[in-house]
């Protein structure tokens, strides 16, 4: 059999190897496709309109049929749900809305029975204000050990009436809230990088460290395969909490200038004294040692909005975490040069520390990728889309979204999928504002719509109440009518459906061992606007994404394994393959 590189070689073709394949058995997380379940919105077992653990357990078969390797569950802990569970009041219990500890045990057991791994979300930067520790801190006096678990400070000004520094919350407004002391007087201030109900812990306090080590063990003992570590670049703040003139935005807003650019800068990074301080690494080294005591390749994945990629790679050094989300990739605009740079840099930065690279296009904090790609600036990063905002082009977005997915799943490393993306689900871009629940909406004084639009419950069947999400037809956020067209039951066994495309991609990825594969850029394949094409070889598979205005013709005796859209001359490829604009193909040599 000729190699794909030999088959496509032409006088003008050059290749550049940027990442080598790994041979032999590798830990699961180096190559895994990990599916994010957002518990509120996946499947409602008890009919209250909010997804729950029993609902998830009952639907796990969907994930094995899809062909993913692991599941990441967003928080299910006891919580007042002011930030959809990212405000934890008890790290060792399940919120009644989601079920019980027994339900969690059953979910863990069923996941493992089906051969899937399970990662849970850990929220160590802050607790809920309803956490017993914070309640005790409010009742205790300034300088007490109870207050020392959080970041309480005296205010500035003659009567302490101004916040201790000028930091702003990621969700908008000040990052400080003043408390009333036991004697009724206006008192100290506490830091919350997120909502007022999410007080930041003080990670210089050994008691905080000991508590989280114990929480890790609690869940490791119950059998989870790892943790997604929320805001892992935020735990340690610069000494003295110096003023910071910039915004402390994490997910949105801070980089709007950069976002609008086509030059490949991605705007995924945070700067400022609240983020990415060197002290965080000591914590992850400790956690690494804790996980290493357990069998079965347990893993940590960093949610760290850190740039550049070499800085992010510090979180995945051999004695720290196993993976970090690649938000630089997620926030890259739909531009061939930008995509090429971010892919090259991602692989180089992670290879340098012997870590796996991850890829991700959607999650519960970002506008869904088909909708981002249907915007005027394809791949832009708006903080939510609502009525009155410029609306994405739904069909174009889906078309490009599918191409982006096949580009991602062709890359070596580990990939994250967000529930519903296997259906091609768009953002709910016309959610009524009075239904919004993300604190971003009011904390930004109604300027940023926030993240509800990507959190709308999943449509399972077109004809059922709440599209099969809930037996009673209730749904905590209303689903748009167009979800009927995306429901799973309209796509199963339908050739060319987005669901079947994902399934085939995951099967081929496994068959061709793309996860542990290689990456070599291929240039000069097509004479037409070669700079508009992202072309690489991973092991025996050639992946071509055409971002230019013209169809690209590939010659050679080729076989199309998979394409993100119908091709003009079919899939046979005897006379070469034509790749239209905004399409990705996976090709190999005919043999
Ligand atoms: C992370 C979560 C986000 C949450 C924030 C605060 O970014 O992904 O949903 O609001 O942390 O916990
Ligand atoms: Mg429910």
Question: For 68-72, 277-281, 516-520, 530-534, which range has the lowest pLDDT when averaged over its residues?
Answer: 530-534
Question: For 312-321, 430-439, 547-556, 567-576, which range has the lowest pLDDT when averaged over its residues?
Answer: 567-576
C-alpha angle 275-278-281 in degrees, rounded to nearest 5: 100
Distances (CA, A) of 228 to 89, 217, 225: 18, 15, 10
Place of tokens 């994404």: 545
pLDDT digits (tens, 9 = 90+) for 142-182: 999 999 999 999 999 999 999 999 999 999 899 999 999 99
Question: For 449-458, 471-480, 509-518, 574-583, which range has the lowest pLDDT when averaged over its residues?
Answer: 574-583
pLDDT digits (tens, 9 = 90+) for 8-35: 777 788 899 999 999 999 999 999 999 9
pLDDT: which is higher, 379 or 391: 391
Q: Average pLDDT of the chain?
A: 93
This prediction has a pTM of 0.96
Residue 489: how many other CB atoms lie within 10 Å: 16
Whole-number percent of the chain with pLDDT over 90: 87
Q: Which atom of ligand 1 is nearest to the CA of 364?
A: 9
Q: How far apart are CA 66 and CA 56, in angstroms?
A: 15
CB of 270 closer than 6 angstroms to any ligand 1 atom: no
Active site residue 52: no
Q: Which atom of ligand 1 is nearest to the CA of 83?
A: 10
User: Would you say 77 and 88 are in contact if contact means Cβ atoms under 8 Å apart?
Assistant: yes
Q: Which atom of ligand 1 is nearest to the CA of 365?
A: 9
User: 572 alpha carbon to ligand 1 midpoint, in Å?
Assistant: 46
Q: How far apart are CA 312 and CA 276, in angstroms?
A: 9
Q: What was the pLDDT predicted at 245? A: 80
Active site residue 293: yes
CB of 121 closer than 6 angstroms to any ligand 1 atom: no
From the list 278, 293, 434, 481, the catalytic residue is 293
pLDDT: which is higher, 107 or 264: 107
Model confidence at 557, pLDDT cuts 50, 70, 90, reads: confident
Furthest-apart CA pair in the chain: how many Å? Answer: 84
- Map residue 488 onto helix, strand or coil: helix
């Amino acid at each position: 059999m000729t190699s794909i590189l030999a088959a496509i070689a032409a006088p003008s073709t050059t290749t550049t190897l940027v990442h080598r394949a790994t041979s032999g058995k590798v830990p699961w997380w180096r190559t895994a496709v990990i599916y994010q379940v957002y518990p509120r919105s996946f499947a409602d077992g008890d009919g209250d309109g909010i997804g729950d653990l029993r609902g998830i357990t009952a639907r796990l078969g969907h994930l094995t049929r899809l062909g993913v390797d692991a599941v990441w569950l967003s928080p299910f802990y006891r919580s007042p749900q002011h930030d959809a569970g990212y405000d934890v009041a008890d790290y060792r219990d399940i919120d009644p809305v989601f079920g019980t500890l027994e339900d969690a045990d059953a979910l863990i057991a069923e996941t493992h029975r089906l051969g899937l791994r399970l990662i849970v979300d850990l929220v160590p930067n802050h607790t809920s204000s309803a956490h017993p520790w914070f309640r005790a801190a409010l009742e205790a006096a300034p300088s007490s050990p109870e207050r020392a678990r959080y970041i309480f400070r005296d205010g500035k000004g003659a009567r302490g009436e101004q916040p201790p520094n000028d930091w702003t919350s990621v969700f908008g407004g000040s990052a400080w809230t003043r408390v009333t002391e036991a004697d009724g007087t206006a008192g100290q201030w506490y830091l919350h990088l997120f909502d007022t109900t999410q007080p930041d812990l003080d990670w210089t306090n050994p008691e905080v460290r000991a508590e989280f080590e114990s929480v890790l063990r609690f869940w490791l003992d119950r059998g989870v395969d790892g943790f997604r570590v929320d805001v892992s670049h935020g735990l340690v703040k610069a000494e003295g909490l110096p003023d910071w003139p910039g915004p402390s935005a994490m997910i949105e807003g801070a980089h709007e200038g950069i976002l609008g650019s086509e030059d490949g800068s991605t705007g995924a990074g945070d700067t400022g004294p609240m983020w990415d301080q060197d002290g965080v690494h000591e914590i992850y080294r400790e956690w690494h040692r804790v996980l290493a005591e357990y069998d079965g390749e347990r893993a940590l994945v960093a949610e760290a909005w850190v740039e550049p990629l070499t800085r992010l790679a510090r979180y995945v050094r051999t004695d720290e975490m196993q993976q970090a989300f690649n938000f630089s990739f997620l926030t890259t605009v739909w531009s061939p040069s930008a995509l090429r740079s971010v892919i090259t840099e991602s692989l180089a930065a992670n290879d340098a520390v012997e870590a796996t690279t991850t890829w991700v296009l959607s999650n519960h904090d970002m506008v869904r990728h088909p909708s981002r790609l249907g915007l005027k600036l394809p791949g832009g990063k708006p903080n939510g889309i609502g009525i009155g905002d410029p609306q994405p082009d739904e069909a174009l977005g889906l078309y490009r979204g599918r191409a982006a997915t096949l580009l991602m799943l062709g890359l070596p490393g580990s990939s994250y999928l967000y529930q519903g993306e296997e259906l091609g689900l768009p953002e709910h871009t016309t959610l009524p504002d009075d239904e919004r629940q993300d604190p971003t909406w009011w904390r930004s004084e109604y300027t940023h719509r926030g993240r509800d639009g990507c959190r709308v419950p999943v449509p399972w069947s077109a004809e059922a109440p709440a599209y099969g999400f809930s037996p009673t037809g209730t749904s905590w956020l209303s689903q748009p009518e167009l979800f009927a067209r995306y429901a799973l039951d309209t796509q199963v066994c339908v050739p060319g459906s987005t669901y079947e495309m994902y399934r085939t991609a995951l099967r081929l990825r496994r068959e061709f061992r793309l996860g542990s594969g290689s990456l070599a850029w291929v240039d000069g394949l097509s004479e037409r606007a070669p700079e508009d094409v992202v072309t690489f070889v991973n092991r025996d598979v050639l992946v071509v994404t055409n971002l230019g205005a013209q169809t690209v013709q590939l010659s050679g005796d080729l076989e199309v394994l998979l394409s993100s859209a119908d091709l003009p001359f079919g899939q046979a490829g005897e006379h070469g393959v034509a790749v239209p604009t905004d399409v990705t193909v996976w090709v190999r040599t005919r043999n």
